[in-house]
Amino acid sequence: MRVCVDGRLIDKFQNTGISRYTEFLVEFYINAYGDKNITIVTNDINYKKNNCVIVFTKLKPYNIFHFLRFSDFIRSLKIDLLHVPFYSALSNKNENIKVIVTVHDLMYRLVDDFFVKNKIISFLKLYYFDFIVKKSLDNSDLIISVSQSTKNDLLAEFGFNSIHIPEDSNIESYFDFSILEKFNLLKKGFFLYCGNNRPHKNIDFVRELFKDNLDLPPLVLAGNGHQSASNIIAVGIVSEEELYALYKYAIAFVFPSKYEGFGLPVLESLRLGTFVIASKIPAFLEFDSKNIFYFELNNKDEFLMAIDKSKTQSFIKEESFLDYYDKRRIYKLNDQMLKDYIE
């Protein structure tokens, strides 16, 4: 089996969820078929991975003109299977190549004002994305959803069935504790959020509760676009090793989102023995853990109650829960998926 993984969203600097998921797929397929049978399509001319075949392209995901040309580009490769880990895949069906598409969320459809507040521009962008997504799903042989929530959304919004295979949450990097020293966090408890500050992340709700409130430990914000303030420490973009150190030392990870397709930071925090304070949205409620304290969206009293619980309760070991998201189990699910649908 000659496999191609679409690696155009691998980002070694931003370390996004899709980037990490794509790296996981590459490792899985190398393990299954050997690196010499793996082709990785990339926008990074310097990207390398073992003995895999690296094919550079200037064709970008989600660009309508590049999307229409991508099918011919893929047809030129000598492959049997293409796995695209996002919903900008092929505009035309190729009978000689099996196609798997992974969908992480339908945020662009389900989050209000996802594009812009101008209704006309927003409508045009929604039509544009719908065209790409529907074509990609129509021309796939198998669709994977990373959560039951996304599986339900796909069926409700587009009528597509998919199989649910979650992401793994294994921690395989070293810890870089220098970030704790740099921001004087070693001797003080803190709450952590990691991610961008787009409106659906709802981070302003949390900022308002922590800002100038010296009765609470500080809030540490990791990622793009955050600003420091009284009792709020913005540390910028962090490496994977720095992020794991922050997880490890935090009192709790806070996740106040209005919508998510999955919740990898939730699992990573729990795997490192750190509580999670999360909004009651479908993707988060899938996690059956006693170490997650939920609150209704934008309910300050419930959020503060969750804060108190995270400071006073003892963390409970839940090995069976974490085993569900273990890499070895996810490998087995992917192996079974290939046998049932592809090979």
Please say if the pLDDT value at position 94 is more than 90. no
- C-alpha angle 111-114-116 in degrees, rounded to nearest 5: 145
Which has the minimum average pLDDT: 109-118, 239-248, 258-267, 318-327? 109-118
The answer to whether position 128 is within a domain reads yes
Describe the strand order of the beta sheet including 232-236 as a list of residue ranges: 232-236, 219-222, 191-194, 252-255, 275-279, 292-295
CB distance 337 to 221 below 8 Å: no
pLDDT band at 112 (very low <50, low <70, confident <90, very high): confident
Domain with residue 22: its CATH number is 3.40.50.2000
* Residue 130, domain member (yes or no): yes
In a shared domain, residues 124 and 36: yes
Q: How confident is the model at residue 105 (pLDDT cuts 50, 70, 90)?
A: very high
114: in domain: yes
CA distance 121 to 290: 43
Structure-token pair, residue 84: 């695209």
Residue 140 confidence (pLDDT)? 97
Confirm whether 185 is domain-assigned.
yes
Predicted TM-score (pTM) above 0.85: yes
pLDDT at 291 over 90: yes
Same domain, yes or no, for 150 and 76?
Answer: yes
Please report which confidence band the pLDDT of residue 288 belongs to, taking 50, 70 and 90 as the band edges.
Answer: very high
Residue 342 has a pLDDT of 84
Indicate the average pLDDT of the chain: 94
Taking residues 62-75, what's their average pLDDT?
A: 96
Q: What is the pLDDT, as a whole number, of residue 228? A: 96
Total count of domains within the chain: 2
pLDDT at 11: 87
Same domain, residue pair 162 and 13: yes
Q: Label residue 34 by pLDDT band (50, 70, 90).
A: very high
- 11 and 129: one domain? yes
Query: In 3-state terms, what secondary structure has residue 233?
Result: strand
**Does residue 173 belong to any structural domain of this protein?**
no
Order the strands of the 38-42 sheet from edge to edge. 53-56, 38-42, 3-6, 81-84, 98-103, 142-145, 163-164
Query: Is residue 269 located within the same domain as residue 127?
Result: no
Map residue 9 onto helix, strand or coil. Answer: coil
Same domain assignment for residues 193 and 317: yes
Residue 125 has pLDDT above 80, yes or no: yes
* The pLDDT value given to residue 116: 75
Domain enclosing residue 296, as ranges: 178-323
Same domain, 128 and 249: no
- Could you tell me what percent of the chain has a pLDDT over 90? 86
pLDDT digits (tens, 9 = 90+) for 145-169: 999 999 999 999 999 999 999 999 8
Residue 103 and residue 199 share a domain? no
pLDDT at residue number 343: 77
Same-domain pairing of 334 and 279: no
The string of pLDDT tens digits covering residues 238-280 is: 988 999 999 999 999 999 999 999 999 999 999 999 999 999 9
> Are 124 and 38 within one domain?
yes
Residue 332 in any domain: the answer is yes
Same domain, 23 and 114: yes
pLDDT given at position 107: 94
Give the tens place of pLDDT for each residue, 222-239. 998 999 999 999 999 998
Cβ atoms of 151 and 286 within 8 Å: the answer is no
Over range 97-114, report the average pLDDT: 93
Claim to verify: residue 223 and residue 161 sit in the same structural domain: no
- Give the pLDDT confidence score for residue 14 in this predicted structure: 73
Say what the pLDDT of residue 180 is: 95
Q: How confident is the model at residue 123 (pLDDT cuts 50, 70, 90)?
A: confident
